[in-house]
Amino acid sequence: MSFDYDLFVIGGGSGGVRAARVAAADTGAKVGMAEESRYGGTCVIRGCVPKKLMVFASSYAPAMKQAAAYGWDVQSGDFDWPAFRINLEGELDRLEGIYRNLLKNSGVETYDFRATVTGPNTVRLSDGRKFSAKTILVATGGWPSVPQVPGAEYTITSNEIFHLETLPKRILIVGGGYIACEFAGILNGLGADAHLWYRGTKVLRGFDEEARDVISQGMQERGITIVTETNIAQINKSEGGLQVTDTQGAVHDFDLVMYATGRAPNSAGLGLEALGVGLDPVGAVEVDVYSQTAVPSIYAIGDVTDRVNLTPVAIREGMAFVETALKGNPTRVDHALIPSAIFTQPEYGTIGLSEEDARAEEAIEVYATSFRPMNTSFINDPHRVLMKLVVSQATRKILGCHIVADGAGEMIQMAGIAVKMGATKEDFDRVCAVHPTMSEELVTMKSPVRTA
């Protein structure tokens, strides 16, 4: 049986683009791709890339204060958001152009339309065109989910934050996860009065408790107002802003409210259930270890499968899919020990288990130190950093490494190599310190602070 395409990919984000172009370039497959929005997906267009550029922009405010404390004559004015936004939009256009060129140069045929799956081997574009494909890959990502409270329609999500006409003077961010904590830092750094409301008792649930404490304290020291065990009950429009009633009944005024209350897999309306592709209760496409669904010709990768929702993981799933489905070399993605960074201020780099999760599994030793680093203690800055290793008593292996400090994302990438290789505490100890640095503590901590 002949098909229009060997592979048709739905969704032009990090995972889909990588799978499509590697399939076309490495295997000579005829590949089609549909994307209803912009190429590059969440990461490039409305996620990691613009977010990180905003983190950079926001970091100059404290840097200027620190420079003054070091003796520089610094005159800092206001942040020119429209000028930054124009440059940001230009950069995203440039990156999207690169993605389009990569696809074109690999021979992938792209369609700027929404696509749905109409059969095990057929897709239909929103303009009515239909194609057949030997294999279909669903890589449609995720989408912010917003609680249904009265007035939720007046709020924004991280999708809209990059396109604001003006920056809010006073913003409320709801949620205690990656996005809420990162944007509280960004908006605070850019000069807004940033408030974060979290329904639980401490932000960044699921991460190492000690790291959460250092981050939470650091965020507040930098000027963010964190209110825990609270939520929005209702939002009303007021003159020039929003009036927000909290779950305790108190009323607050904000210019802008942003929900960062999680993201849901983008699987609705694709036609998958009708074909027998399983969706879990949150809408994640159910796949096996090879990213194959219950319909053998249909695969899914990335956030739509809700495994580990990170760009580099989606890219790896895309590459493994090509090996499996197009090269006849079944390849699993290793989802264990994935290092990651949260670009909070202070920044967090982490790999492996939290102290709490490790303790629940086996006997451990904890090596940790929290201190004021040289560059900022010199100017009496109160901010603390954290260097922490969670070690197995039985194997001596590093089960978890947690770093809260400027540059923690860069540090954990390096430490992650050792941890992934199975390094022991003694392997770390054998490495000579790089002095004077913050991360030298990772190889100089002699005695455990806790054993359990």
300 lies in the binding site for ligand NDP (CB under 6 A):
no
Compute the least distance from the CB of residue 259 to ligand NDP, in Å.
Answer: 8
Compute the least distance from the CB of residue 145 to ligand NDP, in Å.
Answer: 7
185 lies in the binding site for ligand NDP (CB under 6 A):
no
Distance from C-alpha of 250 to C-alpha of 230, rounded to nearest angstrom: 11
Coil, strand or helix at 69: helix
Which helix (H) or strand (E) covers residue 451, if one does?
A: strand 450-451
Compute the least distance from the CB of residue 320 to ligand NDP, in Å.
Answer: 19
DSSP bridge pairs for 388: 368, 402
With a CB cutoff of 8 Å and minimum separation 6, the contacts of 237 are 151, 154, 243
420 lies in the binding site for ligand NDP (CB under 6 A):
no
DSSP bridge pairs for 348: 342, 404
305 lies in the binding site for ligand NDP (CB under 6 A):
no
Compute the least distance from the CB of residue 165 to ligand NDP, in Å.
Answer: 24
Nearer to ligand NDP, 193 or 246 (CB): 246
With a CB cutoff of 8 Å and minimum separation 6, the contacts of 1 are none
DSSP bridge pairs for 290: none
Annotated catalytic residue 435: yes
- In the window 203-222, what residues touch ligand NDP (CB under 6 A)? 205
Compute the least distance from the CB of residue 230 to ligand NDP, in Å.
Answer: 9
Distance from C-alpha of 152 to C-alpha of 238, rounded to nearest angstrom: 14
345 lies in the binding site for ligand NDP (CB under 6 A):
no
260 lies in the binding site for ligand NDP (CB under 6 A):
yes
Which helix (H) or strand (E) covers residue 254, if one does?
A: strand 251-254
Distance from C-alpha of 16 to C-alpha of 20, rounded to nearest angstrom: 6
341 lies in the binding site for ligand NDP (CB under 6 A):
yes
CA distances (Å), origin 248, targets 109, 110, 199, 230:
54, 51, 12, 7
- Among the listed residues 85, 100, 263, 316, the single contact to ligand NDP using CB under 6 A: 263
Coil, strand or helix at 327: coil
- In the window 109-138, what residues touch ligand NDP (CB under 6 A)? none
- Among the listed residues 8, 131, 143, 178, the single contact to ligand NDP using CB under 6 A: 178
Binding segment toward ligand NDP, per CB under 6 A, in 64-72, 254-262, 286-294, 380-388: 254-262
175 lies in the binding site for ligand NDP (CB under 6 A):
yes
284 lies in the binding site for ligand NDP (CB under 6 A):
no
Q: Which two tokens stand for residue 126?
A: 């929103």
342 lies in the binding site for ligand NDP (CB under 6 A):
yes
- In the window 367-386, what residues touch ligand NDP (CB under 6 A)? none
199 lies in the binding site for ligand NDP (CB under 6 A):
yes
Residue with tokens 């799978």: 19
Binding segment toward ligand NDP, per CB under 6 A, in 56-64, 173-181, 269-277, 389-397: 173-181
Binding segment toward ligand NDP, per CB under 6 A, in 108-116, 199-207, 265-273, 418-426: 199-207
With a CB cutoff of 8 Å and minimum separation 6, the contacts of 205 are 176, 177
- Among the listed residues 31, 49, 138, 174, the single contact to ligand NDP using CB under 6 A: 174
Distance from C-alpha of 284 to C-alpha of 277, rounded to nearest angstrom: 10
Distance from C-alpha of 285 to C-alpha of 299, rounded to nearest angstrom: 9
Strand ranges for 255-317 from DSSP E: 256-259, 263-265, 298-300
186 lies in the binding site for ligand NDP (CB under 6 A):
no
Distance from C-alpha of 263 to C-alpha of 70, rounded to nearest angstrom: 42
- Among the listed residues 262, 312, 407, 448, the single contact to ligand NDP using CB under 6 A: 262
Give contact residues for ligand NDP (rule: CB under 6 A).
147, 174-180, 182, 198-200, 205, 231, 260-263, 309-310, 340-343
- Catalytic residue IDs: 435
